[in-house]
């Protein structure tokens, strides 16, 4: 579980997180087939930061933050996240996540996708128990996730601004769920519309910064730290922000990297290692970091409009975490 720097979790938040963890693990045992229990539980068992449930509970701090329905809401957010990772690892042909072989590596693509679907269905069922508003937010979020992922797959057209397109992709595939987690918590806690919108806007900016951080980790963090293969984006042809910026740098000093990225190096080859090393040392890294920092500044600006208490300090501290994280 994530520990936020400078803002230790209150007893209430810690208890909420512990109960969410138990609920999450119990969910998968409800499958009728023992094989589904194993495959749907594969990534959940591997642990993780549980950022999205924490955001649900922090969002709830803007209303009345007590009740089992908040644990349900926090569970939904992680179920959707894990389901999307089952699908993502198939699309990215990833073999390692959270320091373990991915579900697709263990059980094949079809099982990984269907167990992701099972988790998604479980999340929908819990959302239905919460009520119409949560179902609407849940389904809108999945629409944004899928559209973001589809747009990443399709790629920009010749007339599209590539940076704007990239930002739209990550707003869908990543920020949508992070923003929705905060909004769901605030909504379920009965916060007013204006507060719900503001925490959602904070989440949107944090989510964009978080995904840029993910793109940077792909290049700059060792597998032993990130739990994922280094250079996965280059290997699967995903145009992450560092890749995008490196492709746009037409200076002669950047020619070798551009050529390697354009050729699409195969993982495990010297060309792939060279591309990752060159990208890591390139100007694309500090340039991507600038875009990330700018989004964090926007997130922090939203926080200045929220009532200053423990939750706002925790959300502010999460910006520090997103700026520094290496896994
Ligand atoms: C990780 O991104 C993946 C996401 C942020 C979400 C992907 C969303 C989908 C696959 C849609 C899911 C839809 C349904 C119906 C389940 P990444 O590949 O950039 O990061 P990584 O390094 O963690 O793999
Ligand atoms: Mg992906
Ligand atoms: Mg991926």
| pLDDT tens profile 81-112 | 999 999 999 999 999 999 999 999 999 999 99
Query: Residue 1's pLDDT is what?
Result: 75
Ligand number, closest to the Cα atom of 170: 1
CB 41 within 8 A of CB 111: no
Continuous segment of H or E residues that includes residue 97? strand 96-97
Question: Separation of 195 CA from ligand 3 center, angstroms?
Answer: 32
Residues within a 6 A CB radius of ligand 1: 83-85, 87-88, 92, 94, 116, 120, 142, 145-146, 149, 173-174, 214, 218, 228, 232
Q: Convert the pLDDT of each residue in 113-168 to its tens digit.
A: 999 999 999 999 999 999 999 999 999 999 999 999 999 999 999 999 999 999 99
Per-position pLDDT tens, the chain of length 327: 787 777 788 999 999 999 999 999 999 999 999 999 999 999 999 999 999 999 999 999 999 999 999 999 999 999 999 999 999 999 999 999 999 999 999 999 999 999 999 999 999 999 999 999 999 999 999 999 999 999 999 999 999 999 999 999 999 999 999 999 999 999 999 999 999 999 999 999 999 999 999 999 999 999 999 999 999 999 999 999 999 999 999 999 999 999 999 999 998 999 999 999 999 999 999 999 999 999 999 999 999 999 889 999 999 999 999 999 999
Closest to 218 measured CA to CA, from 78, 79, 97: 97
Q: What is the DSSP string of 128-167?
A: HHH-HHHHHHHHHHHHHHHHHHHHHHH---TTS-HHHHHH
Ligand number, closest to the Cα atom of 85: 1
Query: Residue 159's pLDDT is what?
Result: 97
The pTM (predicted TM-score) of the whole model is: 0.97
């Amino acid at each position: 579980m994530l520990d936020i720097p400078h803002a230790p979790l209150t007893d209430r938040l810690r208890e909420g997180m512990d109960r969410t963890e138990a609920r999450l693990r119990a969910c998968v045992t409800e499958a009728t087939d023992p094989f589904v229990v194993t495959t749907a539980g594969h990534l959940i068992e591997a642990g993780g930061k549980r950022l999205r449930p924490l955001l649900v509970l922090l969002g709830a701090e803007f209303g009345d933050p007590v009740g089992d329905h908040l644990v349900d809401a926090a569970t939904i957010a992680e179920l959707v996240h894990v389901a999307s990772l089952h699908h993502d690892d198939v699309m990215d042909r990833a073999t390692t996540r959270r320091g373990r072989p991915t579900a697709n590596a263990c059980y094949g693509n079809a099982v990984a996708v269907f167990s992701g679907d099972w988790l998604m269905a479980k999340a929908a069922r819990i959302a239905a128990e919460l009520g119409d508003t949560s179902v609407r937010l849940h389904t809108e979020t999945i629409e944004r996730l899928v559209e973001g992922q589809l747009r990443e797959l399709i790629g920009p057209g010749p007339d599209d601004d590539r940076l704007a397109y990239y930002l739209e992709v990550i707003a869908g595939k990543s920020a949508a769920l992070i923003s929705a987690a905060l909004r769901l918590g605030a909504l379920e806690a009965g916060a007013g519309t204006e507060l719900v919108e503001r925490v959602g806007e904070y989440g949107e900016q944090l989510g964009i910064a978080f995904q840029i951080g993910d793109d940077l980790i792909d290049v700059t963090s060792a597998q032993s730290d990130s739990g994922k293969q280094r250079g996965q984006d280059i290997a699967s042809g995903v145009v992450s922000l560092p890749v995008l910026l490196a492709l746009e740098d037409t200076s002669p000093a950047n020619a070798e990297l551009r050529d390697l990225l354009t050729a699409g190096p195969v993982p495990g080859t010297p060309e792939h290692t060279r591309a990752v090393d060159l990208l890591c040392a390139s100007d694309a890294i500090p340039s991507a970091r600038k875009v990330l920092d700018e989004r964090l500044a926007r997130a922090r600006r939203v926080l200045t409009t929220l009532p200053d208490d423990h939750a706002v300090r925790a959300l502010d501290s999460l910006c520090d975490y997103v700026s520094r994280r290496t896994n």
